[in-house]
Chain A
């Protein structure tokens, strides 16, 4: 028993010390340095802007809107095809292709929207 204690105590102590060091290191890394920002900094930056103004400040999402419209159209065509399924052999193939396209667009837009925020 005493041998066990002799063997484990220094190891436990070393592990504790390492854990403590990790915690201190994380705290130090997470501590943001204090900065002194001049009160008029934003105004000064705005005053020094070059004469040419940007055409827009907010981001546009024309591409995304077009994709959503395309998805809606694909869905509408899919519904129409489903209602007429069985009347023509080509309908089944077209339905499968459109369904694949619809799923691909859904996955792509989901990945894109959650990828970089």
Chain B
């Protein structure tokens, strides 16, 4: 009973990190509960062999990445289209009710965020994972290297390449969006 309670506390402490990492890695809210549960079950099973060479947090990132990889494979098999990160039941009414400059900026930022999320899903899995762990989760090169089992130099290279690709894709997207607007004027 005590071991279960301790583990429940451990889950409570790390659940939001696991949920948000999985959400961005998989790009979908579908089955998020199940995936997060899978992460903690794998952690529970691995605890007897956990030698403490890293923090539980770093170890959890490693498991979360593995679970996301399995999910990518499963989706490839099912050939299912991914669902956007954006919530369909978002506050459209609220936005329409306040069409001022501030609301316009908010919409613009939201659209930009959405574009980044979409382009992030188009990057290679390894580049996406490293960008998320580095920027969103603020992990160090060493921690990412441990979580992914690759040399620090390779992590740096993928991070740089991923950022560059993302930037170019966003620039290209912005250029394409401006072009029809210029043609109509």
User: Which residues of A are at the interface with B, using a C-beta cutoff of 8 A?
Assistant: 21-22, 24-26, 28-33, 35, 37-38, 41-46, 48-50, 53-61, 115-117
Contacts and interface: CB of A to CB of B under 8 A. Distances in A.
Closest 6 CB pairs of A and B: A59-B52, A29-B135, A54-B47, A46-B8, A28-B116, A42-B11
Contacts of A49: 4, 7, 41, 44
Contact of A53 (B3, B51, B54): B3
14 contacts: A28-B113, A29-B131, A33-B85, A35-B20, A41-B11, A41-B15, A41-B33, A41-B36, A45-B8, A45-B11, A46-B11, A54-B47, A58-B52, A60-B52
A117 B50 CA distance: 14
By CB atoms of chain B within 10 A, which of A29, A45, A58 has the most? Answer: A45
Contact of B53 (A32, A48, A55, A116): A116
Contact of A44 (B7, B37, B116): B37
A57 B146 contact: no
A116 to B, nearest CB: 5
Contacts, number: 106
Given A35-B16, A35-B19, A116-B142, A46 B5 contact: yes
A77 to B, nearest CB: 29
Contacts of B9: 42
Contacts of B131: 29
B171 interface: yes
Contacts of A37: 15-16, 19
Nearest to B132: A29
